[in-house]
Amino acid sequence: MYIFLAFLMVPLIEIGLFIQVGGAIGLWPTLAIVVLTAVLGTALVRSQGRLALGQMRNSFQNLSDPAEPLAHGAMILFAGALLLTPGFFTDAIGFALLMPPVRIAVYHYISKRVTVAQFQMGSGAMHGQRPGQERGHPHRGHPAGSDDIIDGDFEDVTPSRPGKKPSGWVEGPK
Protein backbone atom coordinates (compact mmCIF):
# COMPACT_ATOMS: atom_id res chain seq x y z
CA MET A 1 0.00 0.00 0.00
CA TYR A 2 2.88 2.40 0.83
CA ILE A 3 4.54 1.73 -2.51
CA PHE A 4 1.29 2.49 -4.34
CA LEU A 5 0.97 5.78 -2.46
CA ALA A 6 4.58 6.67 -3.29
CA PHE A 7 4.04 5.96 -6.99
CA LEU A 8 0.91 8.08 -6.88
CA MET A 9 2.13 10.99 -4.74
CA VAL A 10 5.68 11.55 -6.03
CA PRO A 11 4.63 12.41 -9.63
CA LEU A 12 1.84 14.65 -8.32
CA ILE A 13 4.29 16.49 -6.05
CA GLU A 14 6.77 16.84 -8.93
CA ILE A 15 4.12 18.19 -11.31
CA GLY A 16 2.97 20.71 -8.70
CA LEU A 17 6.57 21.84 -8.05
CA PHE A 18 7.29 22.16 -11.79
CA ILE A 19 4.21 24.36 -12.20
CA GLN A 20 5.12 26.53 -9.21
CA VAL A 21 8.82 26.93 -10.05
CA GLY A 22 8.17 27.33 -13.78
CA GLY A 23 5.57 30.01 -13.06
CA ALA A 24 7.98 31.86 -10.78
CA ILE A 25 11.19 31.78 -12.85
CA GLY A 26 10.09 30.66 -16.34
CA LEU A 27 10.50 27.56 -18.49
CA TRP A 28 14.18 27.74 -19.52
CA PRO A 29 15.60 28.50 -16.07
CA THR A 30 13.50 25.64 -14.67
CA LEU A 31 14.85 23.21 -17.27
CA ALA A 32 18.40 24.49 -16.67
CA ILE A 33 18.04 23.78 -12.95
CA VAL A 34 16.83 20.25 -13.67
CA VAL A 35 19.81 19.55 -15.98
CA LEU A 36 22.27 21.21 -13.58
CA THR A 37 21.10 19.12 -10.63
CA ALA A 38 21.49 15.94 -12.70
CA VAL A 39 25.07 16.85 -13.69
CA LEU A 40 26.02 18.00 -10.17
CA GLY A 41 24.33 14.96 -8.65
CA THR A 42 26.25 12.60 -10.94
CA ALA A 43 29.57 14.13 -9.85
CA LEU A 44 28.61 13.91 -6.18
CA VAL A 45 27.39 10.32 -6.52
CA ARG A 46 30.69 9.37 -8.16
CA SER A 47 32.80 10.89 -5.36
CA GLN A 48 30.60 9.57 -2.55
CA GLY A 49 30.51 6.15 -4.24
CA ARG A 50 34.32 6.00 -4.26
CA LEU A 51 34.38 6.77 -0.54
CA ALA A 52 31.79 4.08 0.14
CA LEU A 53 33.77 1.53 -1.89
CA GLY A 54 36.89 2.39 0.11
CA GLN A 55 35.00 1.86 3.38
CA MET A 56 33.67 -1.45 2.08
CA ARG A 57 37.17 -2.62 1.11
CA ASN A 58 38.45 -1.68 4.57
CA SER A 59 35.68 -3.62 6.27
CA PHE A 60 36.46 -6.70 4.16
CA GLN A 61 40.20 -6.39 4.80
CA ASN A 62 39.67 -5.99 8.55
CA LEU A 63 37.04 -8.77 8.58
CA SER A 64 34.55 -6.43 10.22
CA ASP A 65 30.81 -6.25 9.62
CA PRO A 66 30.28 -4.77 6.12
CA ALA A 67 26.59 -4.00 6.69
CA GLU A 68 27.00 -0.26 7.22
CA PRO A 69 29.29 0.37 4.21
CA LEU A 70 26.98 -1.77 2.05
CA ALA A 71 23.95 0.21 3.25
CA HIS A 72 25.75 3.49 2.51
CA GLY A 73 26.59 2.23 -0.97
CA ALA A 74 22.97 1.24 -1.59
CA MET A 75 21.74 4.64 -0.40
CA ILE A 76 24.25 6.42 -2.66
CA LEU A 77 23.06 4.32 -5.60
CA PHE A 78 19.44 5.18 -4.77
CA ALA A 79 20.40 8.86 -4.45
CA GLY A 80 21.94 8.72 -7.92
CA ALA A 81 18.76 7.29 -9.38
CA LEU A 82 16.72 10.02 -7.68
CA LEU A 83 19.05 12.76 -8.93
CA LEU A 84 18.82 11.52 -12.51
CA THR A 85 15.02 11.51 -12.28
CA PRO A 86 13.77 14.94 -13.38
CA GLY A 87 12.12 16.78 -10.54
CA PHE A 88 12.70 18.99 -7.53
CA PHE A 89 11.29 16.66 -4.87
CA THR A 90 13.37 13.65 -5.99
CA ASP A 91 16.44 15.91 -6.25
CA ALA A 92 15.94 17.10 -2.68
CA ILE A 93 15.72 13.52 -1.40
CA GLY A 94 18.70 12.49 -3.55
CA PHE A 95 20.90 15.33 -2.31
CA ALA A 96 19.85 14.58 1.27
CA LEU A 97 20.92 10.94 0.87
CA LEU A 98 24.34 12.09 -0.34
CA MET A 99 25.01 13.72 3.04
CA PRO A 100 26.75 11.24 5.38
CA PRO A 101 24.84 12.38 8.53
CA VAL A 102 21.52 11.69 6.77
CA ARG A 103 22.73 8.26 5.58
CA ILE A 104 23.92 7.42 9.11
CA ALA A 105 20.53 8.43 10.55
CA VAL A 106 18.68 6.34 7.93
CA TYR A 107 21.00 3.38 8.59
CA HIS A 108 20.40 3.54 12.35
CA TYR A 109 16.64 3.87 11.82
CA ILE A 110 16.57 0.81 9.55
CA SER A 111 19.03 -1.25 11.62
CA LYS A 112 16.77 -0.92 14.68
CA ARG A 113 13.97 -2.57 12.71
CA VAL A 114 16.00 -5.36 11.09
CA THR A 115 17.20 -8.42 12.98
CA VAL A 116 20.17 -10.41 11.71
CA ALA A 117 19.77 -14.04 12.71
CA GLN A 118 23.35 -15.12 12.01
CA PHE A 119 26.46 -13.44 10.69
CA GLN A 120 29.48 -15.51 9.68
CA MET A 121 32.67 -14.40 7.95
CA GLY A 122 34.75 -17.08 6.30
CA SER A 123 34.43 -20.82 6.71
CA GLY A 124 34.31 -22.16 10.22
CA ALA A 125 34.20 -18.71 11.82
CA MET A 126 31.66 -19.65 14.46
CA HIS A 127 32.90 -21.95 17.23
CA GLY A 128 35.71 -23.29 15.02
CA GLN A 129 33.26 -25.38 13.03
CA ARG A 130 33.46 -26.36 9.44
CA PRO A 131 30.45 -25.47 7.28
CA GLY A 132 27.79 -28.13 7.70
CA GLN A 133 29.51 -29.65 10.73
CA GLU A 134 27.52 -30.01 13.90
CA ARG A 135 29.00 -29.20 17.27
CA GLY A 136 31.00 -31.99 18.86
CA HIS A 137 31.20 -34.11 15.70
CA PRO A 138 34.60 -33.69 14.03
CA HIS A 139 35.26 -35.14 10.59
CA ARG A 140 35.89 -38.88 10.43
CA GLY A 141 39.43 -40.03 11.18
CA HIS A 142 40.63 -36.75 12.69
CA PRO A 143 40.81 -36.03 16.40
CA ALA A 144 38.83 -33.10 17.74
CA GLY A 145 40.69 -29.81 17.49
CA SER A 146 42.88 -30.83 14.53
CA ASP A 147 41.28 -28.44 12.04
CA ASP A 148 44.69 -27.11 11.02
CA ILE A 149 45.96 -30.45 9.66
CA ILE A 150 45.37 -31.29 6.01
CA ASP A 151 46.38 -34.71 4.68
CA GLY A 152 47.08 -34.99 1.00
CA ASP A 153 49.27 -36.38 -1.75
CA PHE A 154 50.44 -34.57 -4.82
CA GLU A 155 51.98 -35.36 -8.14
CA ASP A 156 53.91 -32.91 -10.33
CA VAL A 157 52.08 -32.76 -13.64
CA THR A 158 54.21 -30.08 -15.31
CA PRO A 159 54.33 -31.01 -18.98
CA SER A 160 57.78 -31.41 -20.49
CA ARG A 161 58.03 -29.46 -23.70
CA PRO A 162 61.59 -29.75 -25.00
CA GLY A 163 62.59 -26.95 -27.36
CA LYS A 164 59.34 -25.01 -27.02
CA LYS A 165 59.03 -21.60 -25.44
CA PRO A 166 56.43 -20.93 -22.74
CA SER A 167 53.17 -19.44 -23.95
CA GLY A 168 53.46 -16.34 -21.80
CA TRP A 169 50.54 -17.43 -19.66
CA VAL A 170 52.65 -19.61 -17.41
CA GLU A 171 56.15 -19.18 -16.12
CA GLY A 172 58.55 -21.33 -18.08
CA PRO A 173 61.59 -23.26 -16.79
CA LYS A 174 64.52 -21.17 -15.63
Question: Would you state the pLDDT for residue 131?
Answer: 46
pLDDT in tens, 90-132: 999 999 999 999 999 999 999 888 887 766 666 554 444 444 4
pLDDT at site 1: 83
In a domain, 22, yes or no: no
Q: Is residue 43 part of a domain?
A: yes
- What is the per-residue pLDDT for 134? 47
**Based on the structure, what is the number of domains in the chain?**
1
Domain presence at residue 168: no
Q: How far, CA to CA in Å, does 7 sit from each of 12, 22, 49, 78, 86?
A: 9, 23, 27, 16, 15
Look at residue 3 and tell me if it is in a domain. no
By residue range, what is the domain housing residue 87? 35-113
In a domain, 91, yes or no: yes
| Nearest Cα residue to 85 out of 49, 38, 45 | 38
Mark the ranges of the chain whose per-residue pLDDT is less than 70. Answer: 118-147, 159-174
Residue 80 belongs to a domain: yes
Q: The pTM is what?
A: 0.62
Look at residue 146 and tell me if it is in a domain: no
Would you state the pLDDT for residue 156?
73
Residue 153 lies in a domain: no
